[in-house]
Each structure stands twice: as structure tokens, then as C-alpha cells.
């Protein structure tokens, strides 16, 4: 396992091309855990910023043609320089534009990790699902099977969240329990997690790093919901800050492998 303390020691620079809803929250969350964010979504500088970053996060939450152009430029530069790219296909199935863009980005860029909810995963897999905008929604399909299929198809690691998180590279699979359903009732908890995954992954690129990030964030979420609902956002920042100060092995009790 990789500890969040190790990530803090590295202080990675994370280039985020992200949505307008979560940009501030995501930047604050990265800072709280000891990473350094740079939000830069202009095509004019996307390659230049990507090349100085330790990891790139591509998030299509409020996409438009300029940010999509920037994502392609940043993603390609990162691929050339072996800099990891984490993809958050927010609301991938919500509109034809989102789905087309998701497919284009997956074709043109090698993603190190796809971090998504079950509805977004189903959209990528082409499986019937009742997603609700950017939220996971509901469906009958087997999430683990979809995750393995998408991981194998795109030669990537899929990290899909929900009550039970699944991390798979198509061959090995881990399930992570914990967290709290109230995290789906504030906006950006998933987007921030995608950035946290990027910070862990670039510290030691591996499936272990993704599992570690997801396990860490389950603990962060559990601490964040202790208190009243309106305090979850600020408590999330406090938990990211406090838990990443611990120079000890991350608790492994949430995980199972299969
Ligand atoms: P959604 O839009 O459906 O909320 P998301 O992209 O915001 O998806 P989440 O699934 O909310 O991402 O993931 C954010 C965090 O919340 C993760 O740590 C995840 O494990 C946790 N989480 C989500 N749903 C639950 C749940 N029902 N029970 C426990 N933890 C959950
Ligand atoms: N609309 C477009 S992006 C966005 C909303 C509400 C944020 C989604 O954040 P998350 O982390 O997927 O809940
Ligand atoms: Mg959410
Ligand atoms: Mg999301």
C-alpha cells in the first residue's frame, strides 16, 4: 500500500482540466492532502502545463469545445512524456456530446486510470443503465464485470465508486468498503477523488496506488460525515489534511481482493 503521507512527501503537481462546479473544491482538496494543484484549461497552454506536471486530470463535467481541445493537447503531451493521465467521464451518458467526447478522449489518449461512477461506466461499456445526469442512478448490470471489460478494452485501470468501490486492471480486482452515502449529496466528492487518485498514482504508478487512494478516501469520507450535513465540505478538507499527516501504513481493513 502507498500511504497518503508518502504522497504528501512528494508534493506532486497535478494539472487539472476540470469543470466549473468543482474547480475550487478540487484545488483545495489537493492542497489539504499535500499536493499542488494547477487548474489550466486553455488550449494555448495545455501542453506547456501538462509537461511540467506530475499527473494530469481530465474531467468533462462542464465540457465545451475549447476545454475538450485542451484535454486532447494535455493528454497527448502527457502520454509522450509518460506522465499519468486520470480520466473522470462526468455524466458520460447524459448527452450525445458527452458520450462522443468520452469515446474520442479514450481513443486519442492512453488513460492511466478511469475514475467514474456506475452510470458513467455503463455509458462507456455501452450497457443499458438509468443514470441521472452526473449522478450514478440505477441499473441491473454487474458493475464488476463492466469495470473489468472497460479496463481490458482500454488497457487501463478502472476505479468505480459507490457503496462498494471496485478497482480493476481487467485481471486483478479489489473491492473497497466504507465511506458514506451522504458523500453523493454534496457535489464534487467524486471529482475530488479523481484528483486524489492522480496524486497517489504519480507517486508510485501501480494498481496498488489506486487501491490506496480509494481506501484513504473512504476513511476521509467517514471522518467528513461526522457532524452536521452542512459541515461535510469543510470536514472533508480537515480529514484530507489530518489523515495525510499520519506516517503509518494506511488501514487495510476496508479491502478485499478477488
Ligand atoms: P455520484 O455522482 O454518483 O455521486 P461521484 O462521481 O460523485 O458519483 P461517488 O460515487 O459519490 O462519486 O464517490 C465519492 C466517494 O463517496 C467515494 O469514496 C465513494 O466510495 C463514496 N460513496 C459513494 N456512494 C457511497 C455509498 N452508498 N456508501 C458509502 N460510500 C459511498
Ligand atoms: N454538473 C456538472 S459537473 C458537476 C455537476 C453537478 C459536478 C459533479 O461532481 P461529482 O464529483 O461527480 O459529484
Ligand atoms: Mg457525486
Ligand atoms: Mg462524478
Q: Cα–Cα distance between 21 and 144 in angstroms, integer?
A: 29
Average pLDDT over residues 42-58: 98
Distance 165 CA to ligand 4 centre (A): 13
Does 67 show up as a binding residue in the annotation?
A: no
**pLDDT of 93 over the 90 cut:** yes
pLDDT of residue 246: 79
- Span from the CA of 185 to the centroid of ligand 1 (angstroms): 9
pLDDT of residue 257: 78
- As a whole number, mean pLDDT of residues 138-153 equals 96
Ligand 1: which atom is nearest the Cα of residue 134? 2
When pLDDT is averaged across residues 44-64 and rounded to a whole number, the result is 98
Query: Whose alpha carbon is nearest atom 5 of ligand 1?
Result: 190
Mean pLDDT of 11-18: 98
What grid cell was written down for 13? 503537481
pLDDT of residue 250: 58
CB 192 within 8 A of CB 198: no
Please give the helix or strand (H or E) that residue 72 lies within, else none.
helix 65-80
User: Which one, of 72, 73, 74, lies nearest residue 16 by Cα?
Assistant: 74
Query: What's the rounded mean pLDDT across residues 193-207?
Result: 98
- Which atom of ligand 2 has the smallest separation from the CA of 184? 13
Looking from the CA of residue 217, the nearest atom of ligand 1 is: 18
Among 138, 224, 118, 147, which residue's Cα sits nearest to residue 180? 224
pLDDT attached to residue 256: 80
Tell whether the model's pLDDT for residue 123 goes beyond 90. yes
Annotation: CATH topology of 4-257? 3.40.1190
User: Does the ipTM surpass 0.85?
Assistant: yes
Amino acid at each position: 500500500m502507498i500511504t497518503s503521507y508518502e504522497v504528501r512527501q512528494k508534493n506532486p503537481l497535478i494539472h487539472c482540466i476540470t469543470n466549473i462546479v468543482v474547480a475550487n473544491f478540487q484545488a483545495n482538496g489537493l492542497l489539504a492532502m499535500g499536493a499542488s494543484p494547477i487548474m489550466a484549461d486553455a488550449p494555448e497552454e495545455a501542453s506547456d502545463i501538462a509537461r511540467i506536471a506530475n499527473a494530469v486530470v481530465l474531467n468533462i463535467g462542464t465540457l465545451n469545445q475549447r476545454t475538450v481541445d485542451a484535454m486532447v493537447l494535455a493528454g497527448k503531451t502527457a502520454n509522450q512524456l509518460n506522465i499519468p493521465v486520470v480520466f473522470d467521464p462526468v455524466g458520460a451518458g447524459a448527452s450525445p456530446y458527452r458520450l462522443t467526447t468520452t469515446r474520442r478522449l479514450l481513443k486519442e489518449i492512453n488513460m492511466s486510470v478511469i475514475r467514474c461512477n456506475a452510470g458513467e461506466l455503463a455509458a462507456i461499456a455501452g450497457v443499458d443503465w438509468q443514470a441521472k445526469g452526473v449522478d450514478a442512478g440505477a441499473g441491473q448490470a454487474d458493475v464488476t464485470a463492466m469495470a473489468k471489460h472497460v479496463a481490458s478494452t482500454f488497457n487501463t485501470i478502472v476505479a468505480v465508486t459507490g457503496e462498494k468501490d471496485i478497482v480493476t486492471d481487467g485481471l486483478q480486482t479489489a473491492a473497497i468498503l466504507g465511506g458514506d452515502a451522504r458523500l453523493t449529496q454534496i457535489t464534487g466528492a467524486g471529482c475530488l477523488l479523481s484528483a486524489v487518485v492522480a496524486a497517489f498514482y504519480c507517486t508510485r504508478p501501480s494498481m496498488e496506488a489506486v487501491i490506496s487512494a480509494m481506501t484513504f478516501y473512504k476513511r476521509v469520507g467517514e471522518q467528513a460525515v461526522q457532524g452536521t450535513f452542512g459541515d461535510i465540505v469543510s470536514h472533508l478538507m480537515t480529514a484530507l489534511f489530518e489523515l495525510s499527516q499520519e506516517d503509518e501504513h494506511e488501514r487495510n481493513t476496508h479491502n478485499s481482493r478477488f
